Structure formats: C-alpha cells, structure tokens
Structure 1
C-alpha cells in the first residue's frame, strides 16, 4: 500500500503539476522568455545601433573620452584594449593582453600600464616594458577620438 500510495502520489503530483506547470508554466515562460530577450535584444540593438552609427569611421566605440585621464588610461576589458592619454589630447591604444604570458592587463596607475599577474609594467607612451618579466612591448591598437568617444579604428 505504501508503494501504491507512493507511486500514486508522484503520478498525481506529476500529472497535476505537469498540467498546471506545463500549461501555466510553459505559456508564461515561453511568452516571458520570448518577450524578455526580444525586449533586451531590441534595447541592446537600439543602444548599439546609435553607438555604432555614431562613429563616422565605422569603428567600435570603446568608451567616452572622459574615461581616459591625462597621464593615465583605462582598460576596456571587453575589447581587450587599453587606451592611454600621455599628454592632453594625445590618445594611444595598446593590446590589453600582457606580452609575458598572455594574461589580461589589470589597470593603469602612476603613468604605467600594469599586468597584475606577474607585475609587468608598461609605458603609457609607447607600450614598452618598464619593469617585470615582460620583455616585449604591448602591440599598438589604432584608436582615435570621434566626437566624445574613443573609437577603435
């Protein structure tokens, strides 16, 4: 009897839950899932479209010029690019992948680009190694100012 009740209970729960969950859960979930990504995709696409169309050159917008301080820089992690501003109005782009062992660059501090993994430091002016185990300069990345944004050319 325990086996019968045990077997009956899950079947009833499965059927009852399945009908309610499948009928109620599937329709709202599918509708909610379809609607949410579409809305998210539309929002992202809408946001991306103006950003992408904003650059006259068609390059990727990395971020606003205001994010890159004079004598410093900013790591744009998603693009794997570090942009520096050694002197006012002069922007330089470099790969944000350390030439020592391929780890991501972590920050720009005190006029140097820093890889936190093995403490390699690079010049914000030309990407050359200043200290640490890295012996090779960070490869240059073409960047330019387009309006108020830094764009990867």
Structure 2
C-alpha cells in the first residue's frame, strides 16, 4: 500500500545539525593574505556540500522508510473498545480508546491456548474461560492467574506493526 509519510522530527533535526556542522567548518577555514589556504577553503566547501547531500539523502530515506518489525494489518481492523487476534504472529492488538493501541501475547497464561476473541473490553480464552483486560492484559477472571505479556506495537500511517 502506497502512502505519503511525514518526515520524522528526528530526521529533520539530524539534517539541520549536519548542515550546521558543515557551515561551521566552512566558516572556520582560515584564509591567508597570499591565498595559500585555498586548498583548505575548497576542502571545507566540499565537506559542506557532502554533509548537505548526506543529510538530504538521510531525510529522504527516512521519509519513505517503514517501521522496523512485522506489519500486522490496517488500523481499521482493530475497532475502538475491541481488538483483533493475529494468530500467525501470536499477538492480540486492542484499541481501548480511539487512537491508543495495545499489544499482548495471544497465548493464554493458563495452559497455552491461543485466545479466541476480544469482546466487551476483554480478551477471552475459550479453552478454560480466562478473561483478560483489553487495556492492560491483566487477569479479569481465571483460571489464569498471570496477565498476558505485553507486546510492542506501533502505528505508522494506517498500519499496525509488531516490533
């Protein structure tokens, strides 16, 4: 899926920093009265040009880059107040409030079954009817006694990624 992605602030700051260093190097080159330091001036100018090109290429690469990890699917697959189980990746992603996505292991901590649904703000395992909070993975009702482990998920554009 092709989409425009904003350049992250980190890339802009890094690019501006690289340009600032290059400008400082160019400004700090010394000039002799007889012009004998023209090689230093040329080298500083080349360094400034190279740094600017590197910063620009870095910003362009980052702007089109996708987050590290496995793309799980579109955010539209995870309803507000509900969730979706990605069985192949053994992760469940919930959206307790609009725009807030949480990731948890989809493996029940009771006996290792894969959870089966997300309903009513709870992640449910049908094997033995353990229920977990869709907000933080804590046990709502057993027999499970341990919360579902958290998984790191990120959203970029309209896609969810598992880190």
Q: If the length of structure 1 is used for normalisation, what is the TM-score?
A: 0.63
**What does residue 118 of structure 2 align with?**
108
Aligned residue runs from structure 1 range 1-153, under 5 A? 56-153=66-163
User: For residues 55 and 147 of structure 1, what CA distance do their matches in structure 2 show?
Assistant: 12
- Deviation, 1:147, is 1.3
Q: Work out the CA distance in 1 between the residues paired with 2:122 and 2:131.
A: 6
CA contact (8 A) 1:55 1:146 kept: no
Distance 1:55 1:90, change over 3 A: farther
Q: Deviations over 1:27-49 (max 9, x none)?
A: xxxxxxxxxxxxxxxxxxxx9xx
Gaps of 5+ in 1: 1-46, 48-53
CA distance in 1, matches of 2:71, 2:85: 13
Report how far residue 55 of structure 1 moved: 6.2
SS in 2 for 1:66: helix
Which secondary structure does the structure 1 equivalent of 2:115 belong to? coil
Q: Which runs of 5+ in 2 are unaligned?
A: 2-63
Give the aligned CA root-mean-square deviation in angstroms: 1.5
